[in-house]
Structure 1
Amino acid sequence: MEEEETAYDAPTRRKWLKYSGAVVGGGLLAGCTGDPESESQTTTASEEGSYSATLAPTGEVTLDSEPEDIFTMLGHHADMVLSVGRSDDMNAVFEPGYHQGLYRKLTHHLDGVSVDWEGLYSSWQPEKEKVYELDSDVHIADPAKVATADGWDKSDVQDIADNVGPWFGNTLSGTNRTPPEGWRDQYEYYTLWEIFGRVAQLFGEDERYEALASVHESMVQSIEENRPPESERPTAALVLFSTSDDTGWGYKMNNPGYYAAHTRPMGVTDTLSETFGEGYGDGGRNMPFDYELLLEADPDVFLVLGSMTEYFNLDEIRKGLEDHEVASELTAVEEGNVYAQGARRQGPLLNLFQLEMTAKQLYPEQFGEWPGYENGEPYPEIPEEEQLFDRDRVAEIISEGA
């Protein structure tokens, strides 16, 4: 009990941080339309030199000085902190070993950019005592999501904001899921890059955001302009295979939300949604399947989530499909179109790499052949003339600023 009391008696940061939980109205959320100019008008540094940004569901948050200890929870927010050059200041992230392993495969190609998340607090589900103990200057996490964790409610979230540091994050925009009770009136949905823009501006990193957003916009425009006509595009399925039996889960590829930020621009036919209807997987949840169900949909291409992480082995997945009586009949398996993917919960850096890999996996004639992913190795080497974005430019933005 004594340790718990000590944790909850952590000194207040109210003199250092000013937090406003005002409900975000439509006028403050002009940036949700996707207009970069609107975004820049809604989140600004104050005249006194502090850092201020607006993001639902917290509203406006203002910091009196640059944060030094940064709490993150889920991968997309950790990616955003990394992308503004502040990953060394993180003290928490969910499954730090998992995320470190994935992101090192990307930063391998970015000179001067690295991640060292070994030993950070694994922050989902968070323990209140540990959040107090970490004494973070800011929590880049969605308070509506945190409030659903075991032992938490809205008042606990507010206590952290009042006594430690503010929350600033948005998670449910991954699939535009319905917020939990108590948060619905103040919740809004954003694209991945809109969330990143506001996180960047809270850190006073407008220029970094704008520079990375320019790289992203250029690549998306190129993909949309050069992808083949709709009649010539393959069917595809974004899937996660079980490691224990002949089942798995499918995920919608063309729905709103940042989970599909790397597949939606491809304009490909999502064969699971097309075959089983709009009600399949509603609410942003995964769509369970077995191999018989997959055979009914029979995609031309499988995009396999998690297979760039240490938790899955793509070679074993492929062999299991090829050796299975039913799965071996799938078109994607017969034609060798079973490809690696990273994760749906992506931030800006993972989004850039996943846009490139997905374009090559689906449309090799237009964007160059995907060289294949070797288990345990970094993201594969791609000849400079076939890269869809400039690695040196991205590395420069992250490590040195715009």
Structure 2
Amino acid sequence: MEATMRSGQSRRAFVATGVTAGSAALAGCISGTEPGSESGGDSYTVSMAPMGEVEFDGVPERAFVTFTQYADMAVALGHGDAVQTLFAPEMSGTTMTKFYDRLEGVEFDWEGLENPLEGGVTKEQLYGAESDVHFLDPSYVLTTQDDWDDDDVEEIADAVAPWIGSYHSGVHSEPADVYADSYEYYTLWELFETVAAVFQERDRYEALAAVYDETRTRIESALPPEDDRPTVARVTLGDGVFYAYHLNTPGFWQAETRPLGAHDALADVEWEGDWGQVDYETMLEADPDVILHLWGITPNYAIENVRDRLESHAAGRELTAVGNDQVLASGMRYQGPIMNLFQLEMTAKQLYPEQFGEWPGYESGDSYPTIPDDEQLFDRQRVAAIVTDGA
């Protein structure tokens, strides 16, 4: 599998590892020390656009983490203790824990972590954190922070620690101008491979990638014919509007919906930016069979309240999904590998219960629901063993 270059440039050539994820071979993205091997304190390099090759003196013990996918990746690789910071920790941490509750021995201590984006990213903040790696796309910093330029980015990389991240891979959005010719887009599992290279955890990565490959293959092979698939809107209910996301477009924000091939009820609705805003009239015109309420399993949105708000709205109650009790709690777009496995399973059951077994439902505040062993789409014990023992 290759990362996609923007601007029509040639794709970057990788050395195939033979490990599959999805339908293609996943790629190696490390030079110097072999990923997963013992480094013995020796330096090694990791390659990722737009940063290029970055050097590490040893496995990071302190990681500046922004979005949840990188914290989930660290946990999956056995390095959750390295996480120093976390975006919206009360939301992110509790949501991650909902999944980890179903994996024996897998835990993440998120309490007390500061939100690194709450007051904006500053050089003083990064100097003070003294991290060994910054899991943050420098292009995100340049496109969201007014007082940063590429010289500041290079200063932090040289004086503190490397940057590793690819924010714009979420929906294949435009990067900062300075990276216009060098930016590449990565899938979630390619990003995970790079983070595994940073932590020198090749074996754990390969083992989890194999679980993912088997899970995705199992799901894709059992999907009903396209004509029998529902129309779905993936939205978050706001104040009088729906914040909308597509189902099947490129990007790791769609990592739990794109493999399921449902019909995007909002496919013909266009917007600028990472997400759109649609009104009730647009939703009524689309009239999806199913509404997947993004962030619905987080503590920020009680799915019961969402349903009540829709049912009490003159237009909302006319929606087919509302009338048929198909307003369902969905996951987080900032998902790492463990979250992706659960969210794939959850969404497959929500959209195709005849093929994958009934979704037992979700109540706000609860952990991920218990699924009978014979109805699970991936092996919990296997995943837990990989995370806790590297097996």
User: Is the pair's TM-score, using the shorter chain for normalization, greater than 0.5?
Assistant: yes
SS of the residue aligned with 1:223?
helix
Alignment-derived partner of residue 254 in structure 1? 248
Matched, 1:119 2:112: yes
Which of 144-153 and 128-137 deviates more? 144-153
Matched, 1:65 2:58: yes
Q: Could you tell me how far 1:31 is from its partner in structure 2?
A: 6.8
Alignment-derived partner of residue 4 in structure 1? none
Amino acid at match of 2:113: L
Could you list the per-position Cα deviations for residues 111-166 of structure 1 after superposition, in whole angstroms to 9, with x for gaps in the alignment? 11111122223112322212101101111221111223242221111111111111
**Partner Cα distance (1:191, 1:54) in 2:** 15
Matched, 1:382 2:375: no
SS of the residue aligned with 1:139?
strand
Alignment-derived partner of residue 144 in structure 1? 139
Q: 1:399 to 1:108 in 2, by over 3 A?
A: same
Matched, 1:239 2:235: yes
The alignment covers a number of residue pairs equal to: 372
Task: Say whether the 8 Å CA contact 1:72–1:91 is kept in structure 2.
Answer: yes
Match of 1:340 among 323, 329, 342: 329
Q: Please give the residue correspondences for 1:232-311 in structure 2 after superposition, counting only pairs within 5 Å.
A: 232-242=228-238, 245-274=239-268, 276=269, 280-282=270-272, 285-311=274-300
**Partner Cα distance (1:348, 1:361) in 2:** 20
Where structure 2 has 5 or more consecutive residues not aligned to the other structure, the ranges are 1-8
Match of 1:372 among 355, 358, 361: 361
SS of the residue aligned with 1:238?
strand
Amino acid at match of 1:40: G
Task: Say whether the 8 Å CA contact 1:251–1:281 is kept in structure 2.
Answer: no
Alignment-derived partner of residue 326 in structure 1? 315
Task: Say whether the 8 Å CA contact 1:29–1:42 is kept in structure 2.
Answer: no
SS of the residue aligned with 2:378?
coil
Q: 1:36 to 1:92 in 2, by over 3 A?
A: farther
Alignment-derived partner of residue 222 in structure 1? 218
**Partner Cα distance (2:369, 2:341) in 1:** 14
Where structure 1 has 5 or more consecutive residues not aligned to the other structure, the ranges are 1-23
Could you list the per-position Cα deviations for residues 267-326 of structure 1 after superposition, in whole angstroms to 9, with x for gaps in the alignment? 11001114x3xxx1355x212112121010000000001111111110011011112211
Task: Say whether the 8 Å CA contact 1:72–1:140 is kept in structure 2.
Answer: yes
Amino acid at match of 1:281: W
Match of 2:81 among 88, 93, 105: 88
Matched, 1:98 2:87: no
Alignment-derived partner of residue 3 in structure 2? none
Matched, 1:363 2:352: yes
Could you list the per-position Cα deviations for residues 6-28 of structure 1 after superposition, in whole angstroms to 9, with x for gaps in the alignment? xxxxxxxxxxxxxxxxxx98545
**Partner Cα distance (1:303, 1:143) in 2:** 31
**Partner Cα distance (1:180, 1:317) in 2:** 36
Amino acid at match of 2:367: P
Could you list the per-position Cα deviations for residues 204-255 of structure 1 after superposition, in whole angstroms to 9, with x for gaps in the alignment? 111111111111111111111101100111110100111xx22111101000
SS of the residue aligned with 1:182?
helix
Matched, 1:40 2:28: yes
TM-score w.r.t. length of structure 2: 0.90
Relative to total residues, which structure has the larger helix share, 1 or 2? 1
Amino acid at match of 1:266: L
Q: Could you tell me how far 1:29 is from its partner in structure 2?
A: 4.7
Could you list the per-position Cα deviations for residues 65-95 of structure 1 after superposition, in whole angstroms to 9, with x for gaps in the alignment? 1111111111222221121111111111211
Q: 1:171 to 1:93 in 2, by over 3 A?
A: same
TM-score w.r.t. length of structure 1: 0.88
Q: Could you tell me how far 1:30 is from its partner in structure 2?
A: 6.1
Identity of aligned residues (%): 45
Q: Please give the residue correspondences for 1:181-192 in structure 2 after superposition, counting only pairs within 5 Å.
A: 181-192=177-188
SS of the residue aligned with 1:71?
strand
Task: Say whether the 8 Å CA contact 2:60–2:198 is kept in structure 1.
Answer: no
**Partner Cα distance (1:301, 1:44) in 2:** 48
SS of the residue aligned with 2:177?
coil
Task: Say whether the 8 Å CA contact 1:50–1:63 is kept in structure 2.
Answer: yes
Could you list the per-position Cα deviations for residues 355-378 of structure 1 after superposition, in whole angstroms to 9, with x for gaps in the alignment? 000000000000000000011111
Amino acid at match of 1:308: I
Q: Could you tell me how far 1:40 is from its partner in structure 2?
A: 2.6
